[in-house]
Amino acid sequence: MKALRHCLLALLLACAAAPGLVLAACQNCGVVTSVKSVAEEGKGTGMGAVAGGVVGGLVGNQIGSGTGNTLATIAGAAGGAYAGHQVEKKVRSKNVYKVEVKMHDGQMREFSYDNKPALVAGDKVKVENGTLVRTSK
C-alpha cells in the first residue's frame, strides 16, 4: 500500500514537472447551444409543373377561338405550370429540428433532424457517425 502511494506521488510530481504536457481535448465534443424547429421548404421534382401545365392548358383551351384560343392555351399552360410547381413545393415542405453545437475547438456546427431530438441547450455531446450523442448533462 505504501509503495502504491509512492508511485502515485511520483506520477503526480512528474506531471507537475512537465509544464509542456497538455492532455488532448476531445476533437468531436461540444455543448448544445440551441435546438430550434424550422420550416424547411420542399423541393419541386417537376411533376407539379407538368401536371399544372397540362391542366392550365386544357382550361385555357376552353376560352375563345382562333388566335385568342391559342394565346389562352399558352397562358393557361404557363400559369398552371407555375402554380403546380408552387403547390408541389408546399406539399413537400416539412419541419426539421436544427441543433447548434459549440465544439471544444470554438467552431459552431449545426445538425438537422427530422424528429425532435432528446437534446436541450447545455447538453454535452459528441459527434459519432455524423450524429450527436449526449455524453452527460
pTM for this model (two decimals): 0.51
DSSP of 15-47: HHH-TT--PPPPTTEEEEEEEEEEEE-----SH
pLDDT, tens digit (0-9, with 9 covering 90-100), for 14-70: 555 555 544 456 888 999 999 998 877 766 667 766 776 677 667 767 776 777 777
Return the pLDDT at 93: 74
Q: What is the H or E stretch that residue 116 is in? A: none
pLDDT, tens digit (0-9, with 9 covering 90-100), for 94-122: 788 999 999 998 899 999 998 889 899 99
Q: Count helices and strands (H / E) in the chain.
A: 3, 5
Give strand pairing partners of 31: 102, 124
Tell which wins on pLDDT, 92 or 1. Answer: 92
C-alpha dist (Å) from residue 93 to 4, 25, 82, 114, 118: 64, 40, 17, 12, 23
